[in-house]
């Protein structure tokens, strides 16, 4: 029975793609991290090569995962956090993938700022 449970969980994770752990990042009290002073440049540098409605080659990025605007980012904040952000609960590094249009990856400090940015941008 225990073996069946492990197989079921493995199949469920595989079918849903839900393997990421939320970073647990929180918005700093001074809320100094904004789209204008952090988000726009981060997403331009690391994400929009594949996650833009204008991307010529998405390199496998889902068609509905576009981060062209702060509203798009808010809509997908949980996914982005679980794939690329750092916080007290996890350092998520599966995105951006190497190759494609990305030739570098964010530092741990940038991933931590991303987690804080996403926490600050959550709809109230």
Provide the whole-model pTM: 0.80
Is residue 31 very low, low, confident or very high in pLDDT (cuts 50, 70, 90)? Answer: confident
DSSP code string of 46-70: HTTTTSSTT-S--TT--TT---SSH
Q: Tell me how far apart the alpha carbons of residues 120 and 5 are, in angstroms, rounded to a whole number.
A: 37
Q: What is the pLDDT of residue 94?
A: 92
The angle at the Cα of 79, spanning 71 to 44, to the nearest 5 degrees, equals: 55
Lowest mean pLDDT across 1-10, 11-20, 25-34: 1-10
Domains of the chain by residue range? 27-52+64-124
Q: Tell me how far apart the alpha carbons of residues 119 and 81 are, in angstroms, rounded to a whole number.
A: 9
Alpha helices in the chain (DSSP H): 2-16, 40-46, 70-75, 77-84, 108-120
């Amino acid at each position: 029975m225990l073996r069946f449970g492990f197989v079921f969980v493995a199949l469920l994770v595989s079918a849903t793609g839900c393997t990421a752990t939320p970073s647990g990042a929180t918005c700093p009290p001074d809320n100094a991290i904004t789209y204008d002073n952090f988000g726009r440049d981060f997403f331009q540098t690391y994400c929009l090569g594949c996650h833009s409605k204008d991307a010529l080659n998405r390199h496998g990025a889902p068609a509905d995962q576009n981060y062209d605007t702060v509203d798009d980012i808010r809509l997908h904040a949980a996914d982005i956090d679980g794939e690329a952000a750092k916080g007290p609960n996890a350092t998520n590094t599966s995105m951006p993938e190497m190759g494609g249009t990305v030739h570098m990856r964010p530092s741990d400090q940038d991933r931590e700022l991303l987690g804080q940015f996403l926490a600050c941008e959550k709809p109230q």
